[in-house]
């Protein structure tokens, strides 16, 4: 029996073999099609219940199967899984088109939609109906037959191309290693980075040290290695991922993706892909996003240029460097930061043992939202590194299952993300609770040391856990509006706001304890963490804005005339450029957020959400960071509400007013 087709509560990872996926996905599609056919064949007059609600509950079996499959394709993949992904992705985009282009089904949805004013719907019901109708209209339901066929072809191509894009980036990441056997080549690197590099070498039966393009290996190397030539080698290798003359080159793929997206938008009656995407976001239009970005750019650029000049002078004074290059930035920033704040990232790490940070984030969630986390060992998992927890409230009511997967390995993509294996919904009077997971890439424990996090990794863990809270505290009726199913430029608010607790003495005292002595992190460090938080904020802001503006340039103009990715990028980066260009590097060919993840025409949302999060956290600061009343307002109006109302309405109900960028500019020291 195929375990994926049985009824299961938590995902039955250990029972699944790769051979199960294709038949299970085929069958899942079949079941979902039958559920939809039932709605279509119903001869009763279409109503909110028999059409809108019924449609929202279809495909749950398929959803659970594909969530397991695609989550593993990111966190524990292999050649076989990647092959299966290439095979099933077009089926799934075809199936989703089968729904949105099903005329009989759309006619029913439209009948209900056209009578919505007389139906006396709650806000959540109205939102479901609106979202459903737009889901059809925005995916071609109003198109002529031949255009529907074109749309299907475009969608099938796009799903294959974005998978291929991601596979190429992963292959290029895995293909590079810097193998060093000479002690002076690793001068400057902290013990922890050297020890991790030794373990990698040992795992490949080699002497010495191996550094890779995985972040826990790459970032310390660029930040601390004294050997400038080797830093250059690493930086250039990272910058030319999928931009080399080999089988993994993504240049053609990028051009194909942007042109197909443009064609798709035009087909649906939109000027560009960005106009299409942003219609359903808080930002609404590309013009608004570009104006928002340029306003921040105006405020950040003078600060960034000044910071860059100071950094260049510092490198010149220290080492006679005439021209600061990209592979010098992190290295000299770290040295300057140490000189200015006497803050050594390595000296902080002993206070951030992974297990303590996890306990800390749990304790903060408990104080704010009355949640309790208990590690359990009877839940199936896909790798021994994964930790599993039962989440309850203080009354003992079951809230969620929580998975956490913290360390890098060969089959896991870089970065950090939150995902879910089962979403929350209320069905047949039962509140089905969610199964939520976070995946990160933190240094593994070694023979002599536990996993000790950099402060940056601590904020990453808090960030992903903020997303997880959004998933776990979901409390809506309909699955498609639950948890993180909110407009994309609102989804980063819960994650980014939680990062703020990492900078507060009251929160740090709960978990930042020396892993050997148990001593609480000295307050002088906390003050320095806070002081240094806005260090080089001008440059950081410029960097984020440059990514967002590149994304908008790809997607808010007609891309059909673009022939050179490199020239196009240089043009897009003109206003935000600080370092000299590196001819053999490109950003877009490995810009997975916009060509593989869901951030196309949406990268600006990180900055957008920062405005929201700074404004929201200011409220906590005014009332106390563990203030129950403010926390409850945030939980009730933001974390539990998912996409049941317009995000600005939810935000204003929590905050009492619209957000202003002042709190962000103040926090960043840019006012």
Catalytic residue numbers? 464
Give the number of other CB atoms < 10 A from CB of residue 119.
14
Three-class DSSP category at 626: coil
Give me 241's structure tokens: 């991922």
Residue length of the chain: 671
On the 0-12 / 13-18 / 19+ scale of CB atoms within 10 A, 49 is: exposed
The values of phi and psi at residue 421, to 5°, are: -105, -15
Question: Which uninterrupted H or E stretch holds 371?
Answer: strand 371-375
Secondary structure letter of residue 561 according to DSSP: G
Give me 143's structure tokens: 């198109």
Cβ atoms 639, 473 nearer than 8 A? yes
Give me 484's structure tokens: 């993180």
Residue-by-residue DSSP string for 425-438: EEETTEEEPPEEEE
Three-class DSSP category at 98: helix
Going by their DSSP bridges, the two strands 387-393 and 371-375 should be labelled as antiparallel
- C-alpha count within 13 angstroms, C-beta hemisphere, residue 594: 29
In the chain, % helix, strand, coil (3-state, to 5) comes to 60, 5, 30
Give me 617's structure tokens: 């956290």
User: Which string of b and e fits 623-654 if b means at least 16 CB within 10 Å?
Assistant: eebebeebbebbbebbbbbbbbbbbeebbeeb
The values of phi and psi at residue 435, to 5°, are: -115, 115
* Distances 245 to 325, 423, 552, 610 between C-alpha atoms, Å: 24, 43, 27, 38
Residue whose tokens read 């409220």:
619
CA 423 to chain centroid, in Å, comes to: 18
Three-class DSSP category at 379: coil
Closest by CA position to 470, among listed 421, 519, 420, 431: 420
Rounded Cα–Cα distance for residues 42 and 347 (Å) = 67
Question: Which uninterrupted H or E stretch holds 273?
Answer: helix 273-278
Three-class DSSP category at 209: strand
Cβ atoms 186, 225 nearer than 8 A? yes
Give me 19's structure tokens: 């051979």
Question: Could you give the strand order of the β-sheet that contains 435-439, starting from the edge strand earlier in sequence?
Answer: 371-375, 387-393, 398-405, 435-439, 417-422
Residues 6+ apart with CB under 8 A from 497: 466, 612, 613, 616, 617, 634
What's the N-to-C CA distance of the chain in angstroms? 63
Ramachandran area for residue 30 (φ above 0: left; ψ -120 to 50: alpha; else beta): alpha
Cβ atoms 595, 165 nearer than 8 A? yes
């Amino acid at each position: 029996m195929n375990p994926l087709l049985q009824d299961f509560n938590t995902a039955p990872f250990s029972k699944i073999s790769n051979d199960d996926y294709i038949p299970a996905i085929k069958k899942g599609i079949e079941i979902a099609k039958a559920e939809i056919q039932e709605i279509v064949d119903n001869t009763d007059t279409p109503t909110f219940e028999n059409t809108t609600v019924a449609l929202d509950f279809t495909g749950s079996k398929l959803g659970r199967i594909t969530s397991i499959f695609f989550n593993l394709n990111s966190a524990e993949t292999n050649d076989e899984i990647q092959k299966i992904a290439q095979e099933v992705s077009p089926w799934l985009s075809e199936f989703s088109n089968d729904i949105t282009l099903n005329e009989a089904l759309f006619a029913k949805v439209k009948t209900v939609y056209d009578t919505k004013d007389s139906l006396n719907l709650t806000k959540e019901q109205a939102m479901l109906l609106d979202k459903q109708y737009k889901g059809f209209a925005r995916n071609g339901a109003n198109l002529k037959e031949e255009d529907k066929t074109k749309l299907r072809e475009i969608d099938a191509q796009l799903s294959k191309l974005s998978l291929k894009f991601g596979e190429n980036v992963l292959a290029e990441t895995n293909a590079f290693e810097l193998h060093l056997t000479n002690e002076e080549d690793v001068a400057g690197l902290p013990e922890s980075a050297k020890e991790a590099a030794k373990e990698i070498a040992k795992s490949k039966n080699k002497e010495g040290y191996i550094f890779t393009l995985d972040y826990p290996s790459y970032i310390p190397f660029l930040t601390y290695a004294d050997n400038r030539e080797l830093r250059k080698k690493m930086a250039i290798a990272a910058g030319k991922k999928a931009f080399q003359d080999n089988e993994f080159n993504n240049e053609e793929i990028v051009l194909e993706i942007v042109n197909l997206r443009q064609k798709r938008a035009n087909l649906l009656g939109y000027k560009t892909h960005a106009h299409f995407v942003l219609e359903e976001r808080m930002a609404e239009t590309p013009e608004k996003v570009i104006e928002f970005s340029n306003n921040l750019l105006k405020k950040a650029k003078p600060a960034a240029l000044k910071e860059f000049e100071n950094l260049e002078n510092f490198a010149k004074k220290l080492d006679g460097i005439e021209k600061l290059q990209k592979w010098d930035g992190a290295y000299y920033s770290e040295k300057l930061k140490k000189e200015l704040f006497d803050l050594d990232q390595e000296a902080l790490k002993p206070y951030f043992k992974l297990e303590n940070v996890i306990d800390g984030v749990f304790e903060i969630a408990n104080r704010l939202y009355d949640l309790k986390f208990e590690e359990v060992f009877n839940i199936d998992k896909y790798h021994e590194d994964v930790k599993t927890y039962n989440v309850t409230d203080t009354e003992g009511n079951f809230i969620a299952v929580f998975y956490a997967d913290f360390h890098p390995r060969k089959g896991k993509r870089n970065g950090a993300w939150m995902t879910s294996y089962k979403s929350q919904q209320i069905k047949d009077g039962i509140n089905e609770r969610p199964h939520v997971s976070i995946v990160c890439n933190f240094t593994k424990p070694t023979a002599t040391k536990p996993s000790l996090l950099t402060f940056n990794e601590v904020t990453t863990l808090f960030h992903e856990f903020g997303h997880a809270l959004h998933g776990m505290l979901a409390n809506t009726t309909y699955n498609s509006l639950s948890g993180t199913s909110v407009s994309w430029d609102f989804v980063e608010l819960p994650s980014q706001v939680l990062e703020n607790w990492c900078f507060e003495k009251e929160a740090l005292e709960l978990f930042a304890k020396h892993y050997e002595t148990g001593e609480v992190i000295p307050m002088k460090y906390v003050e320095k963490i806070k002081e240094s938080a806005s260090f080089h904020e001008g440059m950081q802001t410029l960097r984020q804005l440059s990514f967002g503006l590149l994304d908008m340039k790809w997607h808010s103009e007609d891309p059909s005339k673009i022939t050179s990715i490199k020239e196009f990028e240089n043009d897009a980066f003109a206003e935000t450029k600080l370092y000299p260009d590196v001819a053999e590097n490109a950003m877009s060919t490995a810009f997975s957020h916009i060509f593989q993840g869901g951030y196309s025409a949406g990268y600006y949302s990180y900055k957008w959400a920062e405005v929201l999060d700074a404004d929201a956290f200011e409220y906590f600061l005014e009332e106390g960071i563990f203030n129950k009343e403010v926390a409850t307002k945030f939980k009730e109006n933001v974390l539990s509400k998912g996409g049941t109302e317009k995000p600005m309405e939810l935000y204003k109900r929590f905050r009492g007013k619209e957000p202003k960028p002042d709190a962000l500019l103040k926090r960043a020291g840019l006012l």
